Amino acid sequence: MRGYFKKIICITIIIGCYIFFIGCSGNKNTVNKEVITSTYIEDAMKNIEEGDVTIPISFIKVNNDSNLYPENKIKLDQKNITNIFYMKQYDDYKFLVCLDKYDTLNIAYEYKGTITSLSQIEDWSDVVDSNLFTSKNSTINKIEAFNSICGHKGVRVDGILGATSKFVFYISMDGLEPSILLSTVVSSDLNEYDINNDGYNELISQLDNYMYIYDENTLYYATIEKVDSIKQIYFNDKSHLFEVIKSNGKVKYYTYDSNLKSLMLDYNK
| pLDDT, tens digit, 9 for 90 and up, residues 166-176 | 999 999 999 89
> Residue 11: what pLDDT?
46
Mode of pairing for the β-strands spanning 218-224 and 203-205: unpaired
Q: Is position 150 within any domain?
A: yes
Same domain, 3 and 116: no
Predicted model pTM: 0.78
Q: Is position 128 within any domain?
A: yes
Same domain, 20 and 87: no
Same domain, 82 and 152: yes
Q: Is position 149 within any domain?
A: yes
pLDDT, tens only, 36-57: 334 433 443 444 445 478 888 8
> Residue 120: what pLDDT?
96
Mean pLDDT, residues 17-21: 44
Residue 92, pLDDT above cutoff 70: yes
> Residue 22: what pLDDT?
44
Q: What total number of domains does the chain contain?
A: 2
Q: What domain range is 153 assigned to?
A: 60-265
Same domain, 237 and 104: yes
Residue 4, pLDDT above cutoff 80: no
CA atoms within 13 A on the CB side of 13: 6
